[in-house]
Amino acid sequence: MREGAALLQGLAVCGHCGRRLAVHYSGRFAAPGYHCAGKNIVNGRGEYCLNIGGVQIDAAVAEAFLAALAPAGLEASLQAIEQFDADHETTLAQFRRDVERARYNAQRAERRYRAVDPGE
Ligand SMILES: [Zn+2]
């Protein structure tokens, strides 16, 4: 099982050559990493143009993403709470009217009942 999918899969591009970065998973915990498929010959060997571990980058991206999202999320939450409070008040007021009407009806029924009660 992979520890988690790389966040930037299909999104990140190489800062050196502009190629889209490929994702690989390496190590015992299949840590995600990104590499550029472009190869440079270094010391007679072909090496990836760019090859970086993805865990810290993904964490940083997630953090930045959440930070960017937070104000909007907070505002939406506050609106939801305000809406809930408004609905709650409306519901409570309606409930109180229902209770008041039920009590009135019950009292009237009781008076009517007592009025015709032959035992009275
Ligand atoms: Zn590259």
pTM (predicted TM-score): 0.47
Expressed in angstroms and rounded, the spacing between residue 13 Cα and the centre of ligand 1 is: 8
**Is pLDDT of 1 > 50?**
no
Helices (H) and strands (E) in the chain, counts: 1, 5
Other Cβ atoms less than 10 A from the Cβ of 7: the count is: 17
In Å, how far from its chain's centre is CA 48?
Answer: 36
The closest of 44, 3, 46 to 23, measured between CA atoms, is 3
Provide mean pLDDT across the span 54-73: 79
Expressed in angstroms and rounded, the spacing between residue 40 Cα and the centre of ligand 1 is: 9
Provide mean pLDDT across the span 10-28: 87
Expressed in angstroms and rounded, the spacing between residue 42 Cα and the centre of ligand 1 is: 14
Other Cβ atoms less than 10 A from the Cβ of 32: the count is: 23
In Å, how far from its chain's centre is CA 94?
Answer: 33
Composition of the chain by helix, strand, coil, percent to 5: 50, 20, 30
Tell me what the pLDDT averaged over the chain comes to: 81
Expressed in angstroms and rounded, the spacing between residue 59 Cα and the centre of ligand 1 is: 22
pLDDT of residue 105: 86
Expressed in angstroms and rounded, the spacing between residue 14 Cα and the centre of ligand 1 is: 5
Expressed in angstroms and rounded, the spacing between residue 106 Cα and the centre of ligand 1 is: 82
Location of structure tokens 């591009």: 13
d(CA 111, CA 10): 78
Expressed in angstroms and rounded, the spacing between residue 89 Cα and the centre of ligand 1 is: 60
